[in-house]
Amino acid sequence: MIYVLAVLVPPLGVLLNGQPFAAIFNLLLIVVCLVLGLVFHVLLLVPSAHAVIAVHMRREQRRHREVVDAIRRYGPPPGYPR
């Protein structure tokens, strides 16, 4: 659901994902891309792409942190070479 929000309303999607500085950057990116998007239409997709990438990277970071914490707490998985 957060990905849909990141595509449709990029700053809100990034902000709700817990990235306030990325949301501010995305707002600035929207202003710049709206002005330049009048000539280069593909630039209108840049803020949405930035939001989706930021949300994905943050989720991967959380997932990685959970795996590392589990390995620290319970040890490596069975069959893992030492």
Structural domain boundaries in the chain: 2-74
**Both structure tokens of 29:** 């990116």
Residue 47 burial (10 A CB sphere; 0-12, 13-18, 19+): buried
CA 3, CA 56: separation in Å to the nearest integer? 8
Per-residue pLDDT tens digits of the chain, which is 82 residues long:
999 999 999 999 999 999 999 999 999 999 999 999 989 999 999 999 999 999 999 999 999 999 999 999 998 888 877 6
Q: What is the pLDDT of residue 82?
A: 67
